[in-house]
Amino acid sequence: MANPLTGGFEAVMQIAMRQINGLVATLHQNAALENPVLKLIHSASVRVGDPIQTHPDFGDLSEWVLEVQRARPGRGLRDVRAELTATSPPGVAKVLGDALANLGQGLVLEIPPDVIRGLAKIQVSSVTLSAPAGSTSEVTVHAHVRAHYYPDAGTTNLPVPIHGGVRAVFEIHFVPPPSIGFLMAPAPGHLGDALTGSGGKLVIRPSSDDSKIRFVAEPGSGLSPSEESRIEAEMRKVLRHGIELLPVDLPQGFPFHALKGVGSGAQQALALPLTLIPGSSPPAGGPQGITQSIVGSSGFGFAVSNAFVRAVFKPTTDALHQIQGDITVPIEGWWDPTYHYLVTNVELQFNNGTIDLVIKAKATTGSWYAPNYENIVITQKLALVLFLGTLFVRDAGLSVNGAGRGTSAIRSIVISTRNQILPDAEASMNTQLQEAMTRFNTALHSFDPAVSVRLKAGHSEESGAAANGAVAVTADGVIVRGDIVGGARNAPVIDIADTHQGTAFTAFKSWIPGGRITRFIWSWVENGSTPIETALGGVEKSFADEHSFIFPKPPGISDLSRICLRIEGRQTMPNGSEVAIAGGTTCEVSAPAFELDLPSWWAPLALPIWTPDLADDVVMRDALAGHVAVQTAGTERDASGAHTLVYFPDWRSARPLEALGAALTQARVASPIEVVAVLPAGSFDQRRKDIESKLAADRFPARVHLTEDDEDGWSRTFGVAKTPSVFLINARREFVWKHEGDPTPAVLAAALYKHLAPVPARRPRRLRLAVKPGSRAPEVMFQDDRGNGGALHRLRGRHVLLNFWQAWSAPCLTELRRLQGVHEAGKGSPVVIAFHGGTDSKVLSEIRKRLGTSFAFVQDSEQRVARLYGVRCWPTTIAVNPAGDVEHVQMGVAHEHGRAKGV
């Protein structure tokens, strides 16, 4: 009869299914790594409904015919062959016709009516696993998916939204290398694969049983049962044919080559049997004999069979079996008889809580007046205690029965012998335990190099197999329990991109490492109805979407608007527990339509970003959210520029933009033109309603960007001698015309007609850094304003915030104040390094004193570090996680909807 604890194996490792799901979540997180050993996808683009090519395979020709057929929806193979041969050159027609005729025997190209064929973009959550109790080859995979389907022309669309849970049964076969021997039969047709990996292979196939692959629509999606079934049918096709599941190469020495599901519900575990004796063969029935669950809802248990423990103790029992000798026992009033004692049998008996070392012996004498003792039973109870990862054999009691007057003497002899020989058994068990833990650790590191095993402390004597203590002795063997610790979870990754020809935003590449997204929260700014109102900010709107990662651009959004995204969801921790998590709101700003090919450190040339929902009496400087520099590296020329008038108005005038507005109105500009109005430094210290009134908000014919002449950067760049002055920059970023004083309509019209050529409508382009969440943070070496040197790589293991700021920018100073609060948060707070992009290093001490900052200031006069990271927005704060990867990017001051850790 098989041992229910270990089956016919010497040992078994059982891992709680919840703990396994923590490891699987790590594989999902591994998708962010460049070359992980194992990983799971978080997003994929998959073709749906393409004909399945069957043998014979005609290679490139078949692929080419498929492409031709897709471009001619509704045509079968006969029509395609006729068209191709009819239009081919004479020397090719016959050869092509024969090849297509042969191709038709092995390739199905006919398109049935109402066909589903197209491209599906699928977001996949971290998966969780369950194993049916008793199963040795099936694992059920549970995942949440969202998908957006793009049908081919002339084909049928799928129901929307595609959002729900997928439950799919996969068949798993471990195919060990030949030197180990097969513990399970390899999948048919994959024996050749089994011979290539040094540690064998893991062959995974989705079930061919339709009832084992199901799709359940997410509550609130509105999908009907028939729509749910239609999506389910396509999900089966994708799993079976759209995703190629290649055999997984296991590392050399991977110790597990069979599995079995045990337990149920929250107590479910996966049993992985082990052979401990080199050269021993696994039982013919594999792990089927394992029926006992030894772990709870978390952690792992390592069990060895009673037969293996007996083998470990055999040198001890053999030594005890050799005990014999003579002993003199005093008897009052008689001569002291001499007894000859002899051990007749030694065995180990396993109970719940102790191992009984049972020694049977006899003691005989030749003295006629003293009795013989033929049935002496010595029972040594042994308990196992785990301390600091080491097993100790503890005396749990010793009894001697049937020895009469010789009891004390014989007891002393047994104790002495026991003390001499038990340490060898103790050392042997610890050797096996450490080897098993090492093999287990090695296997775990295939999934996550950061995790490790930790044995529990203490022991359990009474509760037996049901105990949750470190060590339990049962009738079937010995159990040692532990936890899987270490590892970490990365912050959510937020990625915003354009899709649908620029008519929508997509969060397709956004994901929660080791988790799933439950809701997307979009927010944006709708600008005002007049050009000046547009320049002074707008109204913030928001929309929450649970079912789709596509967000159609709302009518009120413009290329001046910020688009922000926050994601909420659940994340599976390394121990398998699930927690709620939210991704700090990420806002992207548009690159300015007006750009100049100048060094970024040349001078402060920037356009402001405004916070939304400004009250009429707000001081405009307090409403600044950031500044976007107009200097570029000279890339994307002619791709996204706009004709621009840089205008320096006479701010002392009651209506400083009135004359230019009248000239633009009468000049009847053919091409779209933008105006950058450069106001004197300090102008934003006025209230919004006062600036709006002065600029005549309802009567300007072009879109206006307001900015201040910080540090005289604009004046110095354009060589302004007097105000008003106007400068014309064409869409190629070339300075082509200037005029001192307000231009008349005729003069302005002539200049525009002469220098401006029609340009295509500008497609908004968002500002991008050189890094993004999930990418490696470029190495930085620095010396701060106090003379301390440092390097980013030396800060591995800690959260780091890299801040880029300018002394002239009010929102930069606001952000520095916030970061000081983060810096002072206490233990575990991130390291803050603030890079000043201005040319005057003397301001650092003044700013430090004014703001009371204590973190590192670094002078970056030529913006070498800022350019390395692609910074053009002031301030920009980049969070780097302990592994050295970018975790979060914040352009401008922190958004109030939420932040990543420390951001």
> The tokens of 485 are what?
């610790």
In this prediction, residues 669-677 reach a mean pLDDT of 82
In this prediction, residues 139-160 reach a mean pLDDT of 92
| pLDDT for 104 | 52
Identity of residue 788: N
> Higher-confidence residue: 714 or 540?
714
* Cα–Cα distance, 524 to 533 (Å, whole number): 16
| pLDDT for 897 | 41
In the predicted structure, residue 183 carries a pLDDT above the cut 50: no
Which run of H or of E encompasses 883? none
Q: What is the pLDDT of residues 721-751, one digit of tens each?
A: 999 999 999 888 889 999 999 899 899 989 9
Identity of residue 212: K
In the predicted structure, residue 124 carries a pLDDT above the cut 80: yes
* Cα–Cα distance, 835 to 330 (Å, whole number): 93
Q: What is the pLDDT of residues 622-634, one digit of tens each?
A: 989 999 999 886 5
* Cα–Cα distance, 396 to 384 (Å, whole number): 9
Burial of 311 (0-12, 13-18, 19+ CB in 10 A): middle
* Cα–Cα distance, 709 to 388 (Å, whole number): 68
Which residues on neighbouring strands pair with residue 145, listed in sequence order? 124, 164
| pLDDT for 640 | 55
DSSP 182: -
Identity of residue 304: V
* Cα–Cα distance, 228 to 167 (Å, whole number): 13
Q: What is the pLDDT of residues 366-386, one digit of tens each?
A: 887 777 878 888 888 888 777
* Cα–Cα distance, 83 to 350 (Å, whole number): 82
* Cα–Cα distance, 299 to 456 (Å, whole number): 10
DSSP 286: G
* Cα–Cα distance, 228 to 308 (Å, whole number): 53
Q: What is the pLDDT of residues 455-485, one digit of tens each?
A: 776 544 433 333 446 788 888 988 888 888 8
Which residues on neighbouring strands pair with residue 386, listed in sequence order? 391, 458
In this prediction, residues 192-213 reach a mean pLDDT of 68
| pLDDT for 184 | 31
SS3 content of the chain, % helix, strand, coil (to 5): 25, 30, 45
* Cα–Cα distance, 818 to 821 (Å, whole number): 5
* DSSP state letters, 365-425: ES-TTS--EEEEEEEEEEEEEEETTEEEEEEEEEEEES-GGGHHHHHHHHHHHHHHHHHHH
Cβ-based neighbours of 901, under 8 Å, separated by 6 or more: 491, 584, 799, 830, 879, 887
Token look-up 């970018």 returns: 886
> Higher-confidence residue: 639 or 410?
410
> The tokens of 724 are what?
């008003």
In the predicted structure, residue 763 carries a pLDDT above the cut 80: no
Judged by DSSP in three states, 563 sits in strand
Cβ-based neighbours of 110, under 8 Å, separated by 6 or more: 76, 77
* Cα–Cα distance, 802 to 458 (Å, whole number): 46
| pLDDT for 559 | 63
Return the HEC string of 217-240. Answer: ECCCCCCCHHHHHHHHHHHHHHHH
- Single out the residue of 674, 664, 665, 668 nearest to residue 643, CA to CA: 674
In the predicted structure, residue 187 carries a pLDDT above the cut 80: no
List C-alpha distances in Å: 817 to 386, 531, 570, 874: 52, 33, 32, 15
